[in-house]
Amino acid sequence: MEQNFWEEYIAPARIFGNLYFVGTRPASTHLIDTGDGLIVIDAGFPEALPQVLENIRTIGFDPSDIKIILLSHGHYDHAGAALELSRITGAQIYLGAPDLKMVNGEEDSSLAELFDVKFTQLFTPDVLLGDRDRVALGNTDILCLLTPGHTDGTLSFFFDVTDGEKTYRAGMFGGAGTNTLTKEFLTSHGLPYSKRDEFLNSVRRLEDERVEIFLGNHVENNDTEGKLKRQAAGETDAFLAPSEWLEFLRSRRERLKKVMEGDRK
């Protein structure tokens, strides 16, 4: 892979309470310290795994304490390192059931080709999740909503994070990208245009969720890097932005509208 992920470095840091950012600029990875083991949300690229592991050590945790690898969806940039991370740590892999075909080789739809690589570390998840399933470990209970559109098995996550007497609800839209909804993509992959309706329905559903700390599975979704810099400069509540969730969801609707307008060009 051409891209040098060490040049895409973002210093790992606490977001709030028991929630941390340990990922890279191309693809986010979050860590939750449940008090009874660690949960990692998205494994990232295989090429970036050494950096992610080092990031986890840098903030004072041992990767061997990872118990659960929770994947937002089956694309290469989020699930590509899952198998190796599981081998290293013994952690179980959790994935939305409809995306099984993307990671076990049944279907070539992981988008690895976009990065000029092949998805060779195929796997069968330990746990397949459905809509409204919960992932619980220690002090953490994660609500998983099936929000198809970007992929069939995209999961969005909601859970409480606590620091002292303060508790806030964190949330992540697991598949906010519209790149898989363009005319070119749908046509070339033999997919129906109804995928766009699925995406919009997912956005509408997510608007009903209360989110005070908005997490992105790509840093540009929620300006992760900018917030980390503000936090390092002394703004302790940089990630606390209750209005940002709905603003982002509205932007996704507008983004898809522009994609659909492009059909006529």
Q: List, for residues 199-211, the tens digit of each pLDDT value.
A: 999 999 999 999 9
Question: Of the candidates 91, 68, 87, which has an alpha carbon nearest to the alpha carbon of residue 140?
Answer: 68
CATH number, position 249: 3.60.15.10
CB 199 within 8 Å of CB 181: yes
Can you give the residue range of the structural domain that contains 55? 5-264
Instruction: Tell me: pLDDT of 130 over 90.
Output: yes
Q: Looking at the 3D structure of the chain, how many domains does it have?
A: 1
What does the pLDDT read at residue 174?
Answer: 98
Q: List, for residues 98-110, the tens digit of each pLDDT value.
A: 999 999 988 777 7
Cα–Cα distance for residue pair 147/130, rounded to 1 Å = 10
Q: List, for residues 70-80, the tens digit of each pLDDT value.
A: 999 999 999 99
Q: Which residues of the chain form beta strands (DSSP E)?
A: 13-16, 19-21, 30-33, 38-41, 66-70, 92-96, 127-129, 133-137, 140-146, 155-163, 166-172, 213-215
- Which tokens in the block code for residue 213? 């700390």
Q: How large is the average pLDDT for residues 23-36?
A: 96
Instruction: Tell me: pLDDT of 87 over 90.
Output: yes
What does the pLDDT read at residue 1?
Answer: 46
Q: List, for residues 33-51, the tens digit of each pLDDT value.
A: 999 999 999 999 998 999 9
Sequence-distant (≥ 6) Cβ neighbours of residue 111 within 8 angstroms: 75, 76, 77, 180
Q: How large is the average pLDDT for residues 8-34?
A: 96
Instruction: Tell me: pLDDT of 115 over 60.
Output: yes
Q: How large is the average pLDDT for residues 14-43?
A: 97
